[in-house]
């Protein structure tokens, strides 16, 4: 209530990236004291545990924060206080990079959507590792979403994933190999079979050497059924435990936003309401291909208990949110997880 009637109108008056930075600054401040954390918890109230065993980990309940919001692992404690069972940090690249020029983040309120072309702006995996080393919530789950630097050619991409993994390995509970952002030129080419096989095998081998953590791969919604199913089978064969479906789409199905506005925004990935059905369809394809062999984390346009139920019925074991959280605020975590019936 407080969010939709007061905070959101204020935040939405600011340019999207400024609102994001301001929110993150508030989160950092609030999480740093016991009083601040209890204020954050008071937004949510008590969350009844609904444990989910997946990828060899026990999640307190199925609702987590998707990658991209806390890229640098700065506000995990705050997001845990807001009730998320897991926070996926990143995407982190081995070297820091600024990302694309601003503006690069746009709201489409008529469609409850966002278009972004951030381009993996982040302070680098080692910088995040410094903060992760101090984390106190060892019982909460942190996923490390890793990617390659923009200026690393695809032929050497696997080296970047291994470097990021090495930096984060002792600090995170699972890894997500992100090959599906539309905002790093050529990244999605890594989803093609030969490149994917060698990348996933390199990551799995290094992960074993470092002391095996669960591995997931995050896929795009802009793939055919056959491509999705081949990727899912390959991930299982390469020793991965999970698939995250899906990242943002390069499609522009935002019927309530004018064509002029869409054209003026330009390139980027679309998320939120327009992605709900598509990502649920992709989850169904993954489930059909790999059955219970992989954990499926469903992401894309989750706003309501019905969206969670639909993703669960399609095969998701866990869900993550990003855009729905921007539009609905903290109370949604409790609402979503309350709709999840155990068993
Ligand atoms: C501003 C923004 C930045 C994002 N950055 C990342 C990222 O760095 N890595 C990643 O794997 N996904 C990233 N995502 C994708 C989300 O994690 C999620 O997969 C996608 O937005 C669909 O979920 P949603 O409809 O709930 O937002 C980003 C999304 C947004 C809106």
Q: What is the DSSP string of 152-175?
A: S-GGGHHHHHHHHHHHHTTT-SEE
Strands 63-65 and 113-116: unpaired
**Model-wide pTM > 0.95:** yes
**With bands split at pLDDT 50, 70 and 90, how would you rate the model's confidence at 342?**
low
Find the 147 Cα to ligand 1 centroid distance in Å. 13
Ligand 1 pocket check for 280: Cβ under 6 Å: no
CB proximity list for 243: less than 8 A, separation 6 or greater: 216, 217, 218, 219, 231, 232, 235, 286, 290, 294, 295, 296, 297
Identify the bridge partners of residue 295 per DSSP, sorted by sequence position.
Answer: 242
- The answer, yes or no, to whether residue 139 has pLDDT greater than 90, is no
- Positions marked active-site: 181
Looking at per-residue pLDDT, the higher value among 338 and 156 belongs to 156
Domain ranges of the chain: 2-338
Find the 207 Cα to ligand 1 centroid distance in Å. 24
Find the 321 Cα to ligand 1 centroid distance in Å. 8
Identify the bridge partners of residue 146 per DSSP, sorted by sequence position.
Answer: 92, 177
> Which residue among 247, 277, 307 has the greatest number of ligand 1 atoms within 8 angstroms of its CB, and so is best to mutate?
247
For 195, other C-beta atoms within 10 Å of its C-beta total 16
Ligand 1 pocket check for 248: Cβ under 6 Å: yes
CA angle 30, 112, 178 (to 5 degrees): 70
* Cβ–Cβ < 8 Å for 174, 242: yes
Give me 314's structure tokens.
């399609």
The reported pLDDT for the residue numbered 230 is 96
Strands 57-59 and 52-54: antiparallel
Ligand 1 pocket check for 145: Cβ under 6 Å: yes
Q: The domain 2-338 is classified under which CATH number: 3.40.718.10, 3.40.50.300, 3.20.20.70, 3.90.660.10?
A: 3.20.20.70
Which backbone phi and psi does 247 adopt, to 5 degrees?
-80, -170
Task: Out of 20-34, 163-177, 181-195, pick the least confident.
Answer: 181-195
User: Which residue has its alpha carbon closest to ligand 1 atom 10?
Assistant: 67
Ligand 1 atom closest to the Cα of residue 66 is 17
CA distance 102 to 43: 32
* Cβ–Cβ < 8 Å for 127, 74: no
Farthest CA pair distance, the chain: 52
Mean pLDDT on 152-176: 97
The reported pLDDT for the residue numbered 316 is 98
Ligand 1 pocket check for 321: Cβ under 6 Å: yes
Strands 269-272 and 113-116: antiparallel
Ligand 1 pocket check for 66: Cβ under 6 Å: yes
Ligand 1 pocket check for 100: Cβ under 6 Å: no
The reported pLDDT for the residue numbered 150 is 97
């Amino acid at each position: 209530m407080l969010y939709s009637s007061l905070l959101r109108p204020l935040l939405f008056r600011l340019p999207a990236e400024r609102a994001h930075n301001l929110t993150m600054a508030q989160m950092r401040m609030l999480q740093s004291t016991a009083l601040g954390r209890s204020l954050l918890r008071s937004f949510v109230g008590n969350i009844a545990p609904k444990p989910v065993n997946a990828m060899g980990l026990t999640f307190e309940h199925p609702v987590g924060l998707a990658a991209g919001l806390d890229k640098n692992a700065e506000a995990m404690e705050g997001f845990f206080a807001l009730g998320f069972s897991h926070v996926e940090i990143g995407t982190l690249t081995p070297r820091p990079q600024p990302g694309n020029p601003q503006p690069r983040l746009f709201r489409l309120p008529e469609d409850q959507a966002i278009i972004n072309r951030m381009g993996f702006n982040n302070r680098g995996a080692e910088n995040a590792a410094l903060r992760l080393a101090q984390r106190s919530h060892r019982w909460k789950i942190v996923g490390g979403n890793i990617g390659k630097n923009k200026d690393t050619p695809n032929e050497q991409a696997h080296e970047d994933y291994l470097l990021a993994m090495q930096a984060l390995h002792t600090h995170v509970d699972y890894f997500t190999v992100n090959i599906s952002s539309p905002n790093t030129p050529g990244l999605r080419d890594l989803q093609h079979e030969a490149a994917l096989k060698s990348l996933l095998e390199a990551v799995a081998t290094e992960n074993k050497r470092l002391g095996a953590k669960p591995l997931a791969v995050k896929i795009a919604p802009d793939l055919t059924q056959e491509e999705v199913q081949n990727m899912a089978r390959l991930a299982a064969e390469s020793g991965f435990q999970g698939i995250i479906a899906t990242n943002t789409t390069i499609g522009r199905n935002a019927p309530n936003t004018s064509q002029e506005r869409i054209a003026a925004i330009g390139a980027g990935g679309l998320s939120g309401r327009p992605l709900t059905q598509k990502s649920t369809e992709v989850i169904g394809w993954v489930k059909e291909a790999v059955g219970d062999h992989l954990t499926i984390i469903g992401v894309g346009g989750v706003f309501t208990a019905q969206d969670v139920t639909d993703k669960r019925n399609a095969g998701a074991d866990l869900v993550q949110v990003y855009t729905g959280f921007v539009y609905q605020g903290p109370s949604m975590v409790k609402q979503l997880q309350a709709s999840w019936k155990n068993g």
